[in-house]
Structure 1
Amino acid sequence: MSAAPDPASIARFDQMFPALTEAEIARVRRFGTPQRHPAGTRLLSAGEPAPGMMIILSGHVSISQRDGLGRVRGIVDHAPGQFIGEVGSLSGRPSLVDAVTTDDVDVLLVPPEQLRALIIAEASLGERLVRALILRRVALIESGGSGPVLLGQPGAANLLRLRSFLQRNGEPHHVVDATLDTEAAALMAQYGADEHAVLVICPDGGVLVDPDETALARCIGMVDTHEHDELFDVAIVGAGPAGLSTAVYAASEGLRVVVLDTRAYGGQAGASSRIENYLGFPTGISGQALAGRAYVQAQKFGAEMMIPARVTSLDCSRDDPEGALRLRLADGRRLRTRTVVIASGARYRRPAVPHLAEYEGRGIWYWVSPVEATPCRNEVAALVGGGNSAGQAAVMLSQYAAKVHLLVRGPGLAASMSRYLIDRIEATPNIELRPFTELVGLHGCEMGRLRAVTWRDRHQDAEQHVPLRHLFLFTGAEPETAWLEGCNVLVDGHGFVRTGPVACNDLKTTSLETSVPGVFAVGDVRSGSVKRVGGAIGEGAAAVAQIHQFLAAGATA
């Protein structure tokens, strides 16, 4: 006798693929355009921009996944009342699936802008739609049958780097072990990729050898290449918790918002395995999950996301005919905006250890996710740092590694880590705290990978050489503010952005405004911020009220 269906799986499927009633479809009609397509029409093609969400009025549509190697897997057949789309439908991102009509079909096309309007105007229906769109994206990520295919050796530095980039951005992908798959090995040989390289097969069939993140993003359609002549109300540089919070509140209040980030949404918090002291999540939530929800939420309200997109400079002269600030991007494009929010955060400081750069991505990492933690299984790892992020990372690593050495320069963790994390570390038998200890040496093998480290116990004035292949650095922070050079934004002695009266000796200046009117700073990049997720989110929300004040003053000036 076959096992009974899992009720939880049935409920999840029903949430993922709901059928709308005639009454609900009637409410949607004012947001969409009717279309008719004959049998055999391809409504969506993987890797090509999606026109929006499509509700099926009559006929049937087959949905399938297709990877860069041409492998096809059926997902579902949609009937009347069901709809085609996933989270990318909110912004017109490239489709992750193929959709082909199996007979003559009538659909109601709801383009991205109208879909966002529908979700806001029809709250209860919008909630069901958003839940389904999110669950579909999650299912596509978990199945690994959509998006680019990455071929290479497990543990290869470039493979781990690209996997981390895709995972942090919530992009589905599939990894093939070239040492076990003969077809993958043949393809790598065909394109001249050596045994340590990674070969990327794009959804459109294009092939890349050892691409950087920008090239990979371009191949899957992540990169925004459009010229932006419009004037934004708010440009937010940085998509960590502070930037995403600003985007959600600003966009929900009707401001025209654009968010830019060099790498991925979530910032450093996005790499946190579990945040347990954030209000409203008593069992904790991963930084990636929290950031992912905020990312969708900001798009729901109409915020435009440009990730990856690197800002190289800020022109504060306001010599534009409309008095706008101008952001210059690495690709030469410029964006005009009435206000700017600096939310570019801080990167972990690189210790002054010889040969550090040689082993970055080859055994040395600055974040911990399952991608980096899995190769540590049953091995020895070391982690340097004493803050909350370091504590969360150490706890996560302990679930994979046989042993985790936690190195801190001071006498312990109490000065910089939350008590609940200290208690958890003390209760974890395979985490060994090493106080008064600093990293002094790195040693590699002939393949260019880390094979051992040397640390020094300053208390005992003794050095120890330890064989290990996995080292994680969470050693303080340096602000990401180089792009502000040339604009008179005052910073403190450590490079963090000054705000409020201390920034320009003006007691009328709002608390998050910098020395340049209309330029605000929030989160880790701001001098005096508490460097906590909750604080960053609160500052992002508070900045919006101050932005409204600035814009109102300009309108009445």
Structure 2
Amino acid sequence: MAAKKPIILAVDDDPQVLAAIARDLRQEFSQDYRILRVNSGPEALTTIKELKTKEEPLALIIADQRMPDLEGVELLTASRELFPDAKRVLLTAYADTEAAVRAINSARLDHYLMKPWDPPENLLYPTLHDLLAAWQASHKPKYDGIRLIGFQWSPLSHELKDFLSGFMVGYQWLDYETSPEAQELVKAKGFEPTDLPLVICVDGKAVPNPSKNDLAEHLGIANKPQQDIYDVVVVGAGPSGLAAAVYGASEGLKTLIVERQTPGGQAGTSSRIENYLGFPTGLSGADLAFRAWTQAVRLGAEFIAPQEVTNLCIQDGYKVLTLTNGSEISTKAVILTTGVSYRTLDVPGMDRLSGAGVYYGAARTEARSCDEQDVYIVGGGNSAGQAAMYLATYARKVFIVIRGANLAASMSAYLIEQIRNTPNIELLPHSQIKEVCGGDHLEAVMVDINGVVEKRPARALFVFIGAKPSTEWVCEQVICDGKGFVLTGRDLVTDPRYSQVWKKDREPYLLETCVPGIFSAGDSRAGAMARVASAVGEGSMAIKFVHQYLDE
């Protein structure tokens, strides 16, 4: 949303003089400022009060001295209470010069101008340009986007920050406990601290304690399918799901993608991906996901979120997906790109402090709150390394806790080198977190380092300890291995345990599950490579097999 232009207010009871000053102001300043004109002191004061109520930016007031009911000096003095930073200029005749000079001190005028000001190029514009430049230098424009007011250690506030960040929605975070502006806004909107978190939308509507579905509705994100039957439904909007949606939509398939959280999946939480083809300087996971999501929607794919698929069954040859709200979606083919979720760290205090200093893959969202504090990262994979590099920009010290001796076995070489060259990142090998401590938020961690347990202060703990497939809801319909990863392709016919399950005359396609027309791609598929490029490739390939299945 474009910021409103600042205002220059001209006040004079003489219509000819007012028209002349307004004309000259528009000629020079209308590109960057809105010019308002008022023909009396009382009316001008009313206008200034309205501007204050509407939170309009008032940059400069230029008022004539000799006006009935309210003289220029009185008007400019009164305006100081409402707009203390606005520049004030008195327009005066030669006879009133002495009064104008006195008013510079008494009314704190910034300048006075003599009538007539012809030519304005010499007698008007230079002075006003200087004053407006000084105003711009100190002016802080009002934020016109979404504002999220809450408590720093509130798990729901953290979830909403993650949700907005995941959709690349700009927002202003205001901590109620430390921000007078937040306290004033909550009171002005008629709410109490118990109603927090509070989301104030661009249109001014305030939504207390919103769910992610409520927030999605106010952001204009669809959460209901628009058609009765689709050619293909993609379940999950990680890199593989987004790639499938892009290719499906671009090739004319009626494509729907369903995401339970935000685009990008686990990759979307990565603060920096530097080994993805075509981006030599790297990009964030959220940026990559947003680009892909935008591309898919532009090509015609439907996207609904946050919605979760809870069941999948076959009816009359169609695949029927049931959502958490009870609605059903019918489709000819399904691509499962459900991805993986971070494994939880099972130590005392984790459940109680989750979202209040303890986070799973939330480095970008909470990094600024860690300014000049000590933070801990558990895990030695690429996600942990990317988080460490990002957090090091803000935190005093970043400690990486790993069980092994070094990072070589699990992290890319480029990240290991970056970490080695970052002075405020310290690796703690042969270590593990034994407990997290704190009242309503994390305050310290108990770390076992080579058998010696230490209690260390910590602002935040970020956990990246491997992943498990998000396939619990579908394992009754398709065959998964012992760890929950979906089996596809020749794995179904070469393993004697499953050879009788496949009933078709042809072999299953490379990414096809034991149910014809249901495919799996990305990290939740057995044998998949946990890399963004690989996931994108599989999602793209899956559409080829969908075409072959639909042509049978």
Report the TM-score, using the length of structure 2 for normalisation: 0.70
- Secondary structure of 1:420's partner? helix
Please report how far the alpha carbon of residue 176 of structure 1 lies from its aligned counterpart in structure 2 after TM superposition. Answer: 3.8
- Secondary structure of 2:443's partner? strand
1:144–1:173 contact (8 Å) kept in structure 2: no
Q: Are residue 165 (structure 1) and residue 159 (structure 2) matched? A: no
- Paired residue type of 2:191: Y
Q: How does 1:120-519 map to 2 (within 5 A)?
A: 145=143, 148-154=146-152, 156-178=154-176, 179-181=179-181, 182-187=183-188, 190-194=190-194, 197-203=196-202, 205-225=204-224, 228-315=226-313, 317-319=314-316, 323-445=317-439, 448-457=440-449, 460-487=450-477, 489-504=478-493, 505=499, 508-519=507-518
Q: Are residue 520 (structure 1) and residue 522 (structure 2) matched? A: no
Please report how far the alpha carbon of residue 72 of structure 1 lies from its aligned counterpart in structure 2 after TM superposition. Answer: 6.9
Mapped partners of 1:164, 1:70: distance in 2: 31
- Paired residue type of 2:466: G
Please report how far the alpha carbon of residue 158 of structure 1 lies from its aligned counterpart in structure 2 after TM superposition. Answer: 3.2
2:162–2:362 contact (8 Å) kept in structure 1: no
Mapped partners of 2:54, 2:168: distance in 1: 22
Go from structure 1 to structure 2 and tell me whether the alpha carbon gap of 1:177 and 1:356 turns closer, same or farther (over 3 Å shift): closer
1:145–1:173 contact (8 Å) kept in structure 2: no
Please report how far the alpha carbon of residue 430 of structure 1 lies from its aligned counterpart in structure 2 after TM superposition. Answer: 1.1
Name the larger-Rg structure.
2
Please report how far the alpha carbon of residue 203 of structure 1 lies from its aligned counterpart in structure 2 after TM superposition. Answer: 4.6
2:431–2:447 contact (8 Å) kept in structure 1: yes
Mapped partners of 1:550, 1:198: distance in 2: 47
Report the TM-score, using the length of structure 1 for normalisation: 0.69
Moved more, 369-378 or 217-226: 217-226
* Count of residue pairs brought into register by the alignment: 407
2:235–2:258 contact (8 Å) kept in structure 1: yes
Encode CA deviations 1:369-423: one digit per residue, 9 max, x unaligned: 4431001111100000111111111111111111111011222211111111111
- Secondary structure of 1:244's partner? helix
Encode CA deviations 1:285-334: one digit per residue, 9 max, x unaligned: 1111111111111111100011211111111x233xxx210010011111
Please report how far the alpha carbon of residue 204 of structure 1 lies from its aligned counterpart in structure 2 after TM superposition. Answer: 5.3
Gaps of 5+ in 2: 3-33, 35-52, 59-140, 494-498
Mapped partners of 2:307, 2:191: distance in 1: 29
Encode CA deviations 1:119-150: one digit per residue, 9 max, x unaligned: xxxxxxxxxxxxxxxxxxxxxxxx99555432
Go from structure 1 to structure 2 and tell me whether the alpha carbon gap of 1:218 and 1:70 turns closer, same or farther (over 3 Å shift): farther
- Secondary structure of 2:345's partner? coil
1:176–1:184 contact (8 Å) kept in structure 2: no
- Secondary structure of 1:160's partner? helix
Mapped partners of 1:503, 1:382: distance in 2: 42
Please report how far the alpha carbon of residue 237 of structure 1 lies from its aligned counterpart in structure 2 after TM superposition. Answer: 0.5
Mapped partners of 2:160, 2:541: distance in 1: 35
- Secondary structure of 1:455's partner? strand
Mapped partners of 2:271, 2:390: distance in 1: 6
Please report how far the alpha carbon of residue 427 of structure 1 lies from its aligned counterpart in structure 2 after TM superposition. Answer: 1.2
Mapped partners of 2:235, 2:420: distance in 1: 38
- Paired residue type of 1:500: G
Please report how far the alpha carbon of residue 155 of structure 1 lies from its aligned counterpart in structure 2 after TM superposition. Answer: 5.6
- Paired residue type of 1:292: F
The aligned residue for residue 552 of structure 1 is 551
Encode CA deviations 1:196-218: one digit per residue, 9 max, x unaligned: x3222345554433222122222
Mapped partners of 1:484, 1:438: distance in 2: 34
Mapped partners of 1:70, 1:311: distance in 2: 44
Go from structure 1 to structure 2 and tell me whether the alpha carbon gap of 1:494 and 1:268 turns closer, same or farther (over 3 Å shift): same
- Secondary structure of 1:278's partner? coil
Go from structure 1 to structure 2 and tell me whether the alpha carbon gap of 1:230 and 1:349 turns closer, same or farther (over 3 Å shift): same
1:224–1:306 contact (8 Å) kept in structure 2: yes
Identity of aligned residues (%): 40
Cα RMSD (Å) of the superposition?
2.4
Please report how far the alpha carbon of residue 183 of structure 1 lies from its aligned counterpart in structure 2 after TM superposition. Answer: 2.2
- Secondary structure of 1:224's partner? coil
2:363–2:462 contact (8 Å) kept in structure 1: no
Mapped partners of 2:442, 2:216: distance in 1: 28
- Secondary structure of 2:159's partner? helix
Gaps of 5+ in 1: 1-12, 14-61, 63-68, 75-142
